[in-house]
Amino acid sequence: MKLSRPSLYRRLPARLSCFWAPRLMLLALSSIVAAKTPPALEMKAPGDDEARLPAIAIIIDDMGHDNSNGLDVIALDAPLTLAFLPYRAATGRHAIEAHRQGKEIMLHMPMQNIYSMALGEGALTDDMSDLQIKSTLQNAIDNIPFVSGVNNHMGSQLTQDRRAMSAVMTIIREARIPPLYFIDSRTTAQTVALETALDHDIPAMKRDVFLDHVVDREQIRFQFKRLISLARKNGTAIAIGHPYRETIDVLREELALLGEAGVTVASVSGLMQIAEDNEPAKVDYDRMAKRF
């Protein structure tokens, strides 16, 4: 599969259309809301008009710490996707509460960075064997209730390592049916994580915008507007933010305006379904022939 076409970075790989689309629909049924989210997870597929709107997904990383900010993120009135660090004090109970309130849940997997910054319990490093990587990742997946996907926490070093990424994607591919998806947080321009995920037939996309690289309300608002602009240009866009007070306040204000702006907010799995629905189905006949 050629990865040079930009569209491949914003939608489910075409070769998965026939095989995985029905399974991904199970993940996406509850995810599309333009302005208001019901208090409990509602199984609902997007209508035709809604599916054609520019669509964004917002991932909030670093969830699982036992503080009020995490609960305020969970209470935001939109189908956000929350990425939980494994083994943190509030990971289990906050993930359960978030799912109850209609949020999608991810594993925010700690991975080695180039700055030797502390990663906490359950991290993946490049001195691990394939077996150690697979065992560590599987245990972390099992630590997250209602997990639907995985993204990298830090990882500017490990996501450059094809051997390590292959071991990571093997477990992501095999851990669940329907499959977990992978989002490349792109903490380095040299990442091979997305490419490796696609090579392993994993539903995968990449982060387009960091909302709060600079923790300032006006800067966060600027990045949110940039997210909307990218969605209008490309059909879909993904942002990553963090449970900072400034980020929560800006999201509370800006999410309330999306309906008037004609933009849909979706969970990550919902965004994948929208991207897939907006592209004509294609079949990789050569790849299929090798299976028979």
What pLDDT shows up at residue 276?
85
Cβ-proximal residues to 266 (8 Å cutoff; 6+ apart), any chain:
28, 31, 32, 33, 46, 55, 56, 57, 79, 274
How many Cβ atoms sit within 10 Å of the Cβ of residue 22?
9
Burial of 39 (0-12, 13-18, 19+ CB in 10 A): exposed
What pLDDT shows up at residue 267?
98
What pLDDT shows up at residue 41?
37
- Positions in the chain short of pLDDT 70: 1-51, 279-292
Termini Cα distance of the chain: 19
How many Cβ atoms sit within 10 Å of the Cβ of residue 90?
17
Query: Is-contact 207 238, C-beta < 8 A?
Result: yes
What pLDDT shows up at residue 48?
53
C-alpha 188: how far from chain center: 17
Query: Is-contact 247 218, C-beta < 8 A?
Result: no
**pLDDT tens profile 27-40:** 454 444 433 433 33
State if pTM tops 0.85. Answer: no
Residue among 149, 138, 143 at smallest CA distance from 87:
143
**pLDDT tens profile 243-277:** 999 999 999 999 999 989 999 999 999 999 998 88
Query: Is-contact 111 196, C-beta < 8 A?
Result: no
What pLDDT shows up at residue 66?
87
